[in-house]
């Protein structure tokens, strides 16, 4: 798929005010600073579409983008960010869970995992919740450029072993880098294949 148009539509703190669920939707989620906004800019070829920050917690709202006038792309706030007040964290979680449970047009949730890190309970608990609630998701291992090939495959192997303690099989996954563009074609092909309405 070629992305010819990518438009920012709106930011929301209220799920009921999101665009009408009349087009297929793909959302990106993960811990703060995992690289959600960077990945969105990379796959859409738009440098400044989603706001990037070195400071975790930058994305605090549900951000809708319209791609090729055809499908919605959503940048969600990061979960598990420890450095904000507990009340803010709870507000974020509520917003995220509300969003996921409400959006009937959500085709797939991309759960981003920093490929450098050991498996984290926040992520596995979140994915278990998705599983229990029947929400289709795909993992994206981000920042692959920060590791050697060998270390990257070691880490993914470890991740897979950890997942297999709870899951019958490893959920589908992609490997990405916003710096090198790795993963772009695969992710866009996946979206193209699954978004036939």
CB 111 within 8 A of CB 29: yes
157 binds, among Mg ion, ligand GTP, none (CB under 5 to 8 A by kind): none
- Burial bucket for residue 149 (CB in 10 Å: 0-12, 13-18, 19+): exposed
Q: Does 116 bind ligand GTP (CB under 6 A)?
A: no
Distance CA 133, CA 127 (A): 10
Q: Does 38 bind Mg ion (CB under 5 A)?
A: no
Q: Does 142 bind ligand GTP (CB under 6 A)?
A: yes
Q: CA torsion 173→188→99→91, rounded to 10°?
A: 70
Query: Which member of 23, 46, 58, 89 binds ligand GTP (CB under 6 A)?
Result: 58
Count of residues in contact with Mg ion, rule CB under 5 A: 4
Distance CA 197, CA 190 (A): 14
CB 94 to ligand GTP: min, Å: 17
CB 129 within 8 A of CB 121: no
Q: Does 59 bind Mg ion (CB under 5 A)?
A: yes
Q: Does 64 bind ligand GTP (CB under 6 A)?
A: no
- Burial bucket for residue 150 (CB in 10 Å: 0-12, 13-18, 19+): exposed
Query: Which member of 49, 65, 78, 100 binds ligand GTP (CB under 6 A)?
Result: 78
70 binds, among Mg ion, ligand GTP, none (CB under 5 to 8 A by kind): none
Q: Which residues bind ligand GTP (CB under 6 A)?
A: 32-38, 52-54, 56-59, 78, 142-143, 145-146, 177-179
């Amino acid at each position: 798929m070629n992305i010819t148009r990518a438009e920012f539509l709106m930011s929301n703190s209220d799920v009921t005010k999101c665009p009408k669920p009349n087009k297929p939707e793909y959302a990106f989620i993960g811990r703060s600073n995992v690289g959600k906004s960077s990945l969105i800019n990379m796959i859409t070829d738009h440098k400044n579409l989603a706001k990037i920050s070195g400071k975790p917690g930058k994305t605090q709202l549900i951000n809708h983008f319209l791609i090729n006038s055809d499908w919605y792309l959503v940048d969600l706030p990061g979960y598990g960010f420890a450095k904000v007040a507990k009340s803010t964290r709870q507000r974020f979680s509520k917003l995220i869970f509300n969003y996921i449970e409400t959006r009937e047009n959500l085709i797939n949730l991309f759960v981003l995992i920093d490929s450098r890190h050991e498996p984290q309970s926040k992520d596995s608990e979140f994915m278990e919740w998705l599983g229990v609630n029947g929400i289709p998701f795909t993992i994206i291992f981000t920042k692959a450029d920060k590791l050697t090939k060998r270390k990257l495959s070691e880490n993914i192997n470890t991740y897979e072993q950890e997942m297999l303690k709870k899951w019958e099989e490893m959920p589908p996954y992609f490997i990405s880098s916003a710096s090198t563009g790795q993963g772009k074609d695969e992710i866009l092909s996946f979206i193209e294949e699954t978004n036939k309405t």
